[in-house]
Structure 1
Amino acid sequence: MRLSALRTGLLFGVQGVVSAVAGLVAPKVIALLGARRTLLTGLLLQAGFTAGLLGLGTGTGMWLALIGVTFAGLGHLWAIISYGVTATSGVPDAEQGLATGLVTSSRQVGITLGIPLLSAVATARVTALRTAGSGFAEATLGGIKLGLGLDAALVAVVAVLVTAGLRTPRATRGD
């Protein structure tokens, strides 16, 4: 399916709308499931739908890509919001600003390092495939799939680490 740039932009604008709604709904999901379960759910949604994008090919419909990217983004937003809630819960009021700053800084460092590293891996794969004689579209798809697969695997590992390492705080006696 060949779509104009305008139609493609409008279709992927759906992701932006879903992201805005996901941000509004996240507090309700956290209230229902708790921050830790919402964090795990968000990570699993992100990993699962990102991994689902690996099944797409050059002839696959844009609708499947849109669904995968949209729900992976929804999971990502739930994970980010519940991560902030989880990391700052139980922190004294006087230290909330510091805790929020640390949470935000760690997320920004992750983005600053993660995107270029995944892009470098994908680009190296494209270069290797092109050198081996693959066509441009095939090599590019191979690089994208490697980057997406690595991203999905890393998010799944984080979900496992969250499950194993994040415990519900015990009630303490007095101050």
Structure 2
Amino acid sequence: MPNGEMIESYVPARLDRMPWSRWHWLIVVSLGATWILDGLEVTLAGSLGGILTRRETLGLTDTQVGASATFYLAGAVLGALLFGYGTDRLGRKKLFFVTVAVYLIATGLTAFSWNFASYVFFRALTGAGIGGEYAAINSAIDELIPARVRGRVDLMINGSYWLGAALGSTATIVLLNPRWLPLWLGWRCA
């Protein structure tokens, strides 16, 4: 508030008293699925480093591979800051869907990268989407899940990241194996 006044609300206390319902499960599944995608993304992208230095792919240098990770992290930090600010102004639900859309579109566009500049641009956008999700997911848990179960739900949702990481590491066995897919295609599918 511009004049420094505090607004008092009974909404959080009412949300804490709500019985566990199908609505809560929908939140848990939605947020958990997003974390699974994040785990999948980070694992797949991390596995690409060696492949992207080959001539049949983007032919990046080791320095460029490292720089692409830096651009991704910078995008995640900026995304968390900008989307975090936006959620307070425009609402968590709307911005949650926007961050997921940014992440999915940027990840898809990464597969069409034609050089280092396009690759790091799309990786930075992917990072921005994921950074925004980090802010939105944990805020949603704090605000929408009753205090009596919040710790367990937080662990369940944030722990689902590792399911995505396991799926990503398994997928690399197929996607990045030149006996099953040509390198020029495998990295783009990953």
TM-score (norm 2): 0.59
Identical residues among aligned pairs (%): 11
1:3 to 1:141, Cα distance in 2 relative to 1, 3 A: closer
- What does residue range 61-140 of structure 1 map to in structure 2 within 5 Å? 61-112=115-166, 114-124=167-177, 126-129=178-181, 139-140=182-183
Q: Is 1:9 aligned to 2:66, yes or no?
A: yes
Equivalent-residue separation in structure 1 for 2:59 and 2:188 (angstroms): 21
1:104 to 1:6, Cα distance in 2 relative to 1, 3 A: same
Q: Which runs of 5 or more residues in structure 2 are unaligned?
A: 1-57
Paired residues of 2:81 and 2:132 also in contact (CA < 8 A): no
Matched residues, number: 133
Structure holding more helix per residue: 1
1:73 to 1:93, Cα distance in 2 relative to 1, 3 A: same
Equivalent-residue separation in structure 1 for 2:170 and 2:112 (angstroms): 22
Equivalent-residue separation in structure 1 for 2:61 and 2:173 (angstroms): 29
1:37 to 1:18, Cα distance in 2 relative to 1, 3 A: same
- What does residue range 149-164 of structure 1 map to in structure 2 within 5 Å? none
Q: Which runs of 5 or more residues in structure 1 are unaligned?
A: 130-138, 148-175
TM-score (norm 1): 0.63
Equivalent-residue separation in structure 2 for 1:33 and 1:80 (angstroms): 17
The CA deviation at 1:88 is 4.1
Q: Is 1:145 aligned to 2:179, yes or no?
A: no
**Aligned-partner SS, 1:55:** coil
Equivalent-residue separation in structure 1 for 2:109 and 2:173 (angstroms): 22
The CA deviation at 1:8 is 5.1
Equivalent-residue separation in structure 1 for 2:92 and 2:168 (angstroms): 26
Equivalent-residue separation in structure 1 for 2:68 and 2:156 (angstroms): 35
Q: Aligned match of 1:32 in 70, 83, 89?
A: 89
Aligned CA-pair RMSD: 2.6
1:116 to 1:8, Cα distance in 2 relative to 1, 3 A: closer
Query: In terms of mean alpha carbon deviation, does 11-20 or 38-47 score higher?
Result: 11-20
Query: In terms of mean alpha carbon deviation, does 67-76 or 103-112 score higher?
Result: 103-112
Equivalent-residue separation in structure 2 for 1:85 and 1:43 (angstroms): 15
Equivalent-residue separation in structure 1 for 2:92 and 2:131 (angstroms): 13
**Aligned-partner SS, 1:14:** helix
Amino acid at match of 1:72: T
The CA deviation at 1:83 is 2.4
Equivalent-residue separation in structure 1 for 2:120 and 2:131 (angstroms): 16
The CA deviation at 1:98 is 2.1
